[in-house]
Each structure stands twice: as structure tokens, then as C-alpha cells.
Amino acid sequence: MNDYSQLEKRLNYTFRDKQLIIEALTHKSYKKPYNNERLEFLGDAVLDLIVGEYLFKKFPKSDEGILSKIRASLVNESGFTLLARKIDLGSYIFLSLAEENNNGRDKPSLLSNAFEAVIGAVYLEAGLDTAKTISIKLLEECHPKIDLQSLSKDYKTALQELTQATHGVTPSYEMLGSSGPDHKKEFEIAVILDNETIASAKGKSKKDAQQKAAKIALEKLKG
Amino acid sequence: MNDYSQLEKRLNYTFRDKQLIIEALTHKSYKKPYNNERLEFLGDAVLDLIVGEYLFKKFPKSDEGILSKIRASLVNESGFTLLARKIDLGSYIFLSLAEENNNGRDKPSLLSNAFEAVIGAVYLEAGLDTAKTISIKLLEECHPKIDLQSLSKDYKTALQELTQATHGVTPSYEMLGSSGPDHKKEFEIAVILDNETIASAKGKSKKDAQQKAAKIALEKLKG
């Protein structure tokens, strides 16, 4: 039996209704009359609002296109997996033996969905403000610097996730060269996948060029 | 000058910060230093949560796939346009003369976005519960019967919206025939677009067959 009281300490929230936290932690493979999918549906919307409002207030001058992009870089499977790992959520999930042996406790989809379900459960029992306090604390711990850079960071991550799914490999980046005077240098970087250059881009720094190249590669691969 | 105090009466909510309701009502065409797009971003998430929670509680036995589908049938441009028209929101929007002459006050996108912005503004000033009361009242007035039928209704509406945008015409439905014994009759209906049959389907009633055919047509047209 998982001792979810440790999880409650990590969340700094104790559930009054223990069935609610049990449901939030129950993966559908566990074959109970309930599982965490309904709470995940609710938690997904709760988190969208919490992160949306957080960005709305943190960036009072940014237009909604920017806010949407930053949110999309945080509110997704890999983003929530990060938060789930921070509270060691995997250890507390109820799942089947088969799923357990299949490394289920460390699967991004499983962790991300359970995280949404836990926040959905907190929201149901304690309301939006409590869900907000818990989520924002975790978000800020996992993303010490939320800004437009954290947005572009996402292209490399997104590309890596995509190519692992489609090609079973991770892309590599290769510097093609640099040009321009020292104070205005430009770097050109290529993205290599399966020994083939799939995109290249120039940028003001190596990092910037990598992100731009990853973005182009993503667009190409997604057709 | 639009008298938004009438709108406040319709909403049964009076804004303390008048600049907030003015911002929510300001279309970007109005060329002010502010417009309603940021509030729309916030309101969109607020409404997603409000409607999601409403369905979560109204359908305690439905799985998250069903809840997602019903929500998608309510939380979209045509759904919000319906709610916006209910409070005559178009009359209170600040927009440019050009947009006004272009029938802007009756444009679904403009109405739907302004509705989201108004709910975003209520949420910011008065919190989730007030936004919930206002939205659910309107939702229930506009959709007296929210259930799985309201979901399937959406395929015909969605198809009509799509073909009007892509072909400038509305599809028609034609009965191809019926089969089976009286107590188990099946009807076959075709969807006609530009004198061409684009899909057909069988169903237990004419209505059912129309919905199924519309669904297939939608999938085909969307590629």
C-alpha cells in the first residue's frame, strides 16, 4: 500500500476525503471501478487557468500571442512531468504490475496525467486558491526563470520528443560556421538526424541558432 | 459612447473598475493603447474550467472522453456567440468604423472573443465564483438540454460552418433510402455539397443518419 501521507507533506496539503487522493493516484491499469482520468480532465483545465493567470499578471505588457506561447511551453506533458517528479509522484501511483514492470512509474504520460489529477482533486476539495498556491510554488521551483527564453528552449525539447517517437533517435547539432565582425557575430548551426542535415539556421549565439534550427526542423518534420 | 451600464444589468454584475469592462469591450480595430485580447486569453481558460467543472459534476458517471466532447460542443466560437447574443454583447463593443460597416457587431469571432474577454474581466475583479454564476446561468438559458444529443447536434453545425467558410455554401441532406423491418428500420442519408455527394451514412432515425453523415463529411473535408 502506497503511503500517500508523504505525498500530502510534499504538497503541503492534507486531503479530508482520502478517496479523492486515492482516485487521483489510480492509473486505469489498476482495474478499480474508478481511475484518475476524470480528475485529470478537471485538473487540466485548472492548470491551464492557473498558469494562464500567472503569466497574465507576470507579463502585463505581453500580448496574448506571447502569453499563449509561453503557456504552451509550460503546460504540456514534459512540463507537468517535471512538476510530478519534483514531488516524486511516481512512487505514489497505484498501477498494475504489468505497467509497473513496464517502467510505468517513470512514464511521462502517466506522471503528467496523475499530476493533473492531483491538482484536479485539490481544486475540487479546497478550491482554486489552494490549487494555485501548490501549482505556482512547484512551477517556480522547476522553472526559476520563466520568460521568452523558456519558450524557445521548448523547440529543442519538442524536436527531441518528436524524433524519439518517429525515428527512435535524438537529433544532434553541428556548428557550420560563424560570420560577421566580433561585436555582431552570427553563428550557423545544423540539425542532424540519422546522419542527414534536416535544417540549419543562423543566430546571434550558438544557443539562439540551435533553437531556430530546431524550430525549422520541427516545422519540416510535422509537414 | 456605448452605455455599458445596460450590459452590466444584463450580466447582473457591476464593475468597480470601469476601465476593465471598457478594455473587455474594446476590439483591436478601435486603435486604443489597449484592447480585449489579453482578457480574452484569460477568459478562454476561465470558461474552459467553468464548463469543464459543470459537466464533471452534472455527469458523474461519464468518462473524460465524453466530457471532453460535450465541452468541445459548447466551448467554441459558435457556442460563445450564442451566449454573447443572449446579452446583446454586440451593441456594446467598441470597434472601428470600418469594422462597424463590415457588420463587425454581428461577427461570430468578434462576439465570441468579446464574450471571453468579459468573463475574463469578471474573473479578475470578482473571482471564479462570480464568473461561474454568470456563465452557467447564460449557458443553461442557451442550452436548456445539455447532453449527448447536444454533442451530436454539433456535427451538422460544424459542417455547415466549415462549408460556408471553404465553399461559401451550406450542405444539403438527401434521403437515399430505408431498409430493414419496421421495428428495426435503418435510414440512409447523403450529404450534398455543390451538387456532389460528399458522404453518406445509415442510422436508426433520419436525424441520426444525418449526424453520422455530417461527421464523415467533416472528417473528409478536414483531410
- Quote the domain boundaries for residue A196: 169-222
The half-sphere exposure of B182 on its side-chain side, counting CA atoms within 13 A, is 0
User: What is the per-residue pLDDT for A153?
Assistant: 57
In the predicted model, is pLDDT for residue A131 greater than 60? Answer: yes
Distance CA A144, CA A153 (A): 14
Please report, for the domain that includes residue B163, its CATH number.
3.30.160.20
DSSP-H helix ranges across chain B: 4-11, 18-24, 37-58, 64-74, 77-86, 97-101, 108-126, 128-142, 148-166, 206-221
**Residue A47: closest CA among A109, A111, A149, A128:** A128
Distance CA A52, CA A69 (A): 11
Quick check: is B116 catalytic? yes
Q: What is the mean pLDDT of residues A19-42?
A: 96
- Quick one: what percent of chain A has pLDDT higher than 90? 69
Distance CA A205, CA A189 (A): 10
Q: Is A68 exposed, middle or buried (0-12, 13-18, 19+ CB in 10 A)?
A: middle
Cβ <8 Å between B45 and A53: yes
Same domain (yes/no): A138, A173 = no
Strands A172-179 and A196-203: unpaired
- Comparing alpha-carbon positions, the chain B residue that sits nearest to A121 is B53
More confident residue, A73 or B77: B77
Q: What cell was used for B157?
A: 453545425
Note whether residue A23 is domain-resident: yes
Please report, for the domain that includes residue A131, its CATH number.
1.10.1520.10
| Chain B closest-CA separation from residue A183 CA (Å) | 36
Same domain (yes/no): A142, A173 = no
- Comparing alpha-carbon positions, the chain B residue that sits nearest to A38 is B64
Alpha carbon A128 to chain centroid, angstroms: 21
Same domain (yes/no): A29, A101 = yes
Q: What is the mean pLDDT of residues A135-153?
A: 78
Cβ <8 Å between A41 and B64: yes
Please name the member of B37, B46, B64 whose beta carbon is closest to the beta carbon of A49: B46
| Chain B closest-CA separation from residue A179 CA (Å) | 40
In the predicted model, is pLDDT for residue A1 greater than 50? Answer: no
User: What is the per-residue pLDDT for A219?
Assistant: 80
**Residue A187, phi then psi, degrees to nearest 5:** -115, 145
Same domain (yes/no): B129, B27 = yes
Cβ <8 Å between B45 and A48: yes
Same domain (yes/no): B140, B211 = no
C-beta of residue A151 within 8 angstroms of C-beta of residue A211: no
Same domain (yes/no): A109, A218 = no
Same domain (yes/no): B42, B125 = yes
User: What is the per-residue pLDDT for B168?
Assistant: 82
Please, which pLDDT band fits residue A90 given cuts at 50, 70 and 90? very high
User: Which of B35, B38, B55, B132 best probes binding to A when mutated, by most A CB atoms within 10 angstroms?
Assistant: B38
Cβ <8 Å between B38 and A49: no
Largest CA distance in chain A: 67
User: What is the per-residue pLDDT for A218?
Assistant: 82
User: What is the per-residue pLDDT for B3?
Assistant: 79
Q: What is the mean pLDDT of residues A162-167?
A: 79
User: What is the per-residue pLDDT for B187?
Assistant: 93
User: What is the per-residue pLDDT for B145?
Assistant: 75
Residue linked to cell 460528399: B198
C-beta of residue A113 within 8 angstroms of C-beta of residue A36: yes
Same domain (yes/no): B105, B210 = no
Q: Which residues of chain B have pLDDT under 50?
A: 1
CA torsion through residues B52, B53, B58, B61, sign:
positive
Chain B 63-82, residues with CB within 8 Å of chain A CB atoms: 63-64, 67-68
User: What is the per-residue pLDDT for A207?
Assistant: 87
Same domain (yes/no): A175, A132 = no
Distance CA B80, CA B87 (A): 11
Residue at a domain's end among B120, B146, B172: B146
SS3 A143: coil
Residue at a domain's end among B83, B118, B146: B146
List residues of A with catalytic annotation: 44, 116
Same domain (yes/no): B51, B93 = yes
Whether A219 has a binding-site annotation, put simply, is no
SS3 B144: coil
Distance CA A189, CA B99 (A): 45
pLDDT per position as a tens digit, B139-195: 999 987 777 655 555 788 878 877 877 788 889 999 999 998 888 889 999 999 989
In the predicted model, is pLDDT for residue A99 greater than 90? Answer: yes
Same domain (yes/no): A178, A109 = no
In the predicted model, is pLDDT for residue A220 greater than 90? Answer: no
User: What is the per-residue pLDDT for B2?
Assistant: 62
Note whether residue A156 is domain-resident: no
**Total structural domains within chain B:** 2
Residue list for the binding site of B for Mg(2+): 40, 113, 116
User: What is the per-residue pLDDT for A3?
Assistant: 79
Please, which pLDDT band fits residue A151 given cuts at 50, 70 and 90? low
Catalytic annotation, pick one of B23, B116, B154, B188: B116
pLDDT per position as a tens digit, A165-202: 778 888 999 999 999 888 888 999 999 998 999 999 99
User: Which of B34, B59, B64 best probes binding to A when mutated, by most A CB atoms within 10 angstroms?
Assistant: B64
Distance CA A172, CA A178 (A): 18
Mean residue pLDDT across chain A: 91
Please name the member of A38, A49, A56 whose beta carbon is closest to the beta carbon of B38: A56
Identity at B24, one-letter amino acid code: A
Distance CA B74, CA B51 (A): 8
Quick check: is B44 catalytic? yes
Same domain (yes/no): B113, B161 = no
User: What is the per-residue pLDDT for B152?
Assistant: 53
**Residue A79: closest CA among A37, A164, A138:** A138
